[in-house]
Amino acid sequence: MKLKNGMLLFHGSYTAVENIDLKYCMPGKDFGRGFYLTSDINQARAFIRSVLDRGHTKGTIPQTQNYGYVSSYRFRMPEEGLKIHEFEEANKEWLWFIANNRRRKLATPINAQIQGIAESDVIIGKVANDQTNPVLAVYLNGIFGDIQSERAVNEAIRQLIPDHLVNQYCFLTEKAIRCLEFQEARKYVIK
């Protein structure tokens, strides 16, 4: 999952995104408020359906819209570098970081365990599944046992099926966003 100079990354959405603006990024996502990309174009295409469904439900996208876009970007590493944190696997640190971003109030007992990660420019790691919030609520309420126990952590990770999708790259800062060079946006009709 390493971020390499010249790498092509993809973003699936209901609209083409030529100019990235972090203020439009939603908080409460796996790795925090940032611009999410993947190295897998098929994963980006599949994400269009999720975005459309959510937008239709909230009324932010017309019910008749059945298409979205995959915008592609070329990553260029700046000379001064970036602070990058990579979760190489879905482990305890990965789970705790996601829990902190998605369910901050419930995650208070584990917040100290993940200090410093959020100060990264880019965070890379596995994608949790669509049932993330319910699984995290059960985990953080101690239903699987003590939230710091290996048994509880392993059960939560198992239910989040992080190996189902390829990866996600979350660009958290303006410095990181400036490293993305827009290539093109392709329209896809969702059936």
Comparing 42-56, 86-100, 130-144, the range with the smallest average pLDDT is 130-144
> Which has more confidence, 28 or 74?
74
Largest CA distance in the chain: 47
Based on C-alpha coordinates, what's the Rg of the chain?
A: 17
CA torsion 97-179-52-41 (nearest 10°) is: -90
Residue 137 has pLDDT above 80, yes or no: yes
User: Given this model, what pLDDT does residue 161 score?
Assistant: 74
* Partner residues linked to 123 by β-bridges: 85, 170
Tens digit of each residue's pLDDT (9 = 90 or more) over 36-46: 999 999 999 98
d(CA 122, CA 132): 21
User: Given this model, what pLDDT does residue 132 score?
Assistant: 76
Closest CA to 159 of 182, 186, 130, 118: 130
Residue 133 banded pLDDT, cuts 50, 70, 90: confident
Q: Read off the pLDDT of each residue in 49-56 and give the average, rounded to a whole number.
A: 90
Q: What is the pTM of this model?
A: 0.88
